[in-house]
Structure 1
Amino acid sequence: MDDMDIGVLLPTGTAQWGPADDPRELVAFGRRAERLGFRSLFVNDSLLSPRIEALTMLAALAPVTETVTLGTAALMPFLRRPIQAAQSLGSIDVLSGGRLTVTVGAGFPGRLGRPLYTLSELPWERRFARLDETVALWRALWDGAGSFHGEILRFDDIPPTTRPSRAGGPPIWLGGATPAAQARTGRTYDGWLPYPPDPADYASGLRHVRRAAADAGRAAGDITPALFVSVRIDDDIESGRRALDAYARATYGMPLEELESIQAVVTGSAEDVLQRLGQYVAAGVRHIVARPAALDLSSQRDQLERIADLIPAVRRAADHAEAGAP
């Protein structure tokens, strides 16, 4: 049994680059991750800090990788025109030979989201309905529809868009851990990618997702249970926490104590990290998107190698969890 996928989030933001780093090295970083055994390469999406734009990065990776899933964690559809985004996503799926997975999100209150709606000239209100309708529009266009009539988005006489490699288009996952997000995942989406700090919260959230799926006539296996987690492998927990604190301040402008109250963060020795990841695996995670917590590309590569060393053990933990499942 081998159904555990482990991927990596590429350091596309300038906060993760040193002064002498060349961002073009990110392509080689992705190729190295594939050779090390990671099964997916994810990129995140924001206007809050300088970074390589998410779909541009995936388009660069598509022709130079072979088997890895290429994903977003998470794409903010409100930053783009919906029909043009469908065209871009379809094109990346074609260029990659059908290896795209699209995680989407609607943004967060306060400085983490609302100002971006202003820049996009869209209302903050009904943002979740707009997100769900955008996804429904994409799927309709990928199936060849020439019109779409939702409550918010309405289009007629839509010209043909680029059809993805796979019928129906790439899988679309939802980020977010609120009860409402869990219910929407179960009803509509192909995967769930939250980052809860407590594995117990992941387990309870996944149960909610699966109940909503069953109520909608869907099988639990229709939804990929994934986890976004920041990882720092160090000599011990204390040194790892010092490095993570520097990472949290550089990336988010907040101390580690604040970041780890809202996001999954794992650090310590390789054994410490494996033990903590194993708790999430036992909670039901079957696709880990690991974000190496380092502040230059050389250190990112070091963390990539260290995390790769854990891949066989994490997969064994998943096999054990599956064998013990009722």
Structure 2
Amino acid sequence: MNTRLGILLPTGQNQWNDARRLVDFGVRAERLGYDSVWANDTLLGPRIEPLAMLAALSTATERVTLGTATLLPAFRRPVMAAQELASLDHLSAGRLVVTVGAGFPGRSEIEYAVSEVPWERRFARLDDTVALWRALWAGERAFHGKVLRFDELPASTPSHRPGGPPIWLGGASPSALERAGRLYDGWLPYPPDPADYRAGLAEVRRAAAPAMRPVDAVTPALFVTVLVTDDAQGGERQLDAYCQATYGLPYETARTIQAMVAGPAEHVAATLARYTAAGAQHLVCRIAALSLAAQLDQLEVLAHIARPTH
């Protein structure tokens, strides 16, 4: 099976400066044969808002899937977000994938606070938000969930595709695995061990069965941070610099939480192949480089090595 290959757009402002170059980056990825281009979401640190970013890319690209990795719906009014996502689905002619999440403990609480949304019951709120979006796209005029309830909904923008864009779930906690299998169209975790990925995917598929969903109802994907370099030790130093700049954490800590790999092309390709052997069908790669020039160099290299087949 051929693995689909995606790339995350550069994030920190020192990686782009002129934001229009991010559009050029996405166009370049499409020309290099990438299958998807992704934007992420946070209120911590400067970046272009992901839905605005994907709107710009929707008319500049023709083929690639455009995705969020990961969108945090709690920061947006849910009815308005449904209209924004439906609009993106139209602008991209049905190329949108929306990965959602509820944030990361120890990091996201302040984002919830400034968004005036309670941190408590965030998972129920997330699932309700997604269900509300799907109801609005289908033309329903009322919604009653566990957290969100609307007796009267306005007529909303229908999605380009019947049922709306695919909605994936980020995360690999036991509750996330169960909810991914039962409610979502895809699963985008970042476990640091391929064995954990294999076990997690088995749980997702096990949860899909009682919901009367087919085994292939959930697209198995992987979010992975990569750096291709002939200097393995230098690569780990660059990963450390990237983790410090991105999270304020050393690489030694971040690598226990997220899938990360640096080293020669053969080593990177072999690591990615272990995840595809564990079931990952769509790799979303984040390049661990702190300048746009380095990101572009890596983009070219990665395009030639990161398509393992099995």
**TM-score normalised by structure 1 residue count:** 0.93
Contiguous gaps of at least 5 residues in structure 1: 321-326
In the alignment, structure 1 residue 204 sits paired with structure 2 residue 203: no
TM superposition shift of 1:152: 1.3
Kept in 2: contact 1:15–1:251 (CA 8 A): no
Residue type of the alignment partner of 1:183: E
SS of the counterpart of 1:244? helix
- Report the identity percentage: 61
Distance in 1 (alpha carbons) for counterparts of 2:171 and 2:306: 25
1:268 alignment counterpart = 263
Q: Is the 8 A contact 2:269 2:306 kept in 1?
A: no
CA contact (8 A) 1:16 1:296 kept: yes
Residues 256-284 of structure 1: CA distance to partner in whole angstroms, max 9, x if unpaired?
10111101001100001001001101110
Aligned residue for 2:185? 190
Map 1:48-127 onto structure 2 (within 5 A). 48-110=44-106, 112-127=107-122
CA displacement at 1:136 relative to structure 2: 0.3
Trace 1:169-318 onto structure 2 (pairs within 5 A).
Answer: 169-312=164-307, 314=308, 317=309
Aligned partner (choices 24, 32, 45) of residue 28 of structure 1? 24
Which stretches in structure 2 are left out of the alignment for 5+ residues? Answer: none
- Structure-2 residue corresponding to 1:323: none
* Equivalent pairs, count: 310
CA offset digits 1:193-250 (Å, max 9, x no partner): 0000000000000000000011211112111000000010001321211111111111
Q: Which has the higher helix share?
A: 1
**Deviation at 1:255?**
1.0
**CA deviation after TM superposition for structure 1 residue 15, in Å:** 4.8
Q: Is the 8 A contact 2:67 2:99 kept in 1?
A: yes
Query: How far apart in 1 are the matches of 2:186 and 2:104?
Result: 20
Aligned-partner residue type, residue 264 of structure 1: A
Instruction: Check if 1:147 corresponds to 2:142.
Output: yes
Following superposition of structure 1 onto structure 2, how do residues 122-137 of structure 1 map, counting pairs within 5 Å? 122-137=117-132
Code of the residue aligned with 1:103 in structure 2: it is T
Inter-partner Cα distance in structure 1 for 2:163 and 2:5: 25
Q: CA RMSD in A?
A: 1.1
- Shift, 1:159, TM fit: 1.7
For residue 83 of structure 1, what is the amino acid of its counterpart? V
> Equivalent residue of 2:42, what SS?
coil
Q: Which runs of 4+ in 1 moved over 6 A?
A: none
Partners of 1:90 and 1:163 within 8 A in 2: yes
Matched residues in 2 for 1:287 and 1:268: separation? Answer: 21
Q: Read off the aligned partner of 1:101 and give its amino acid letter.
A: V
Corresponding residue for 1:9?
8
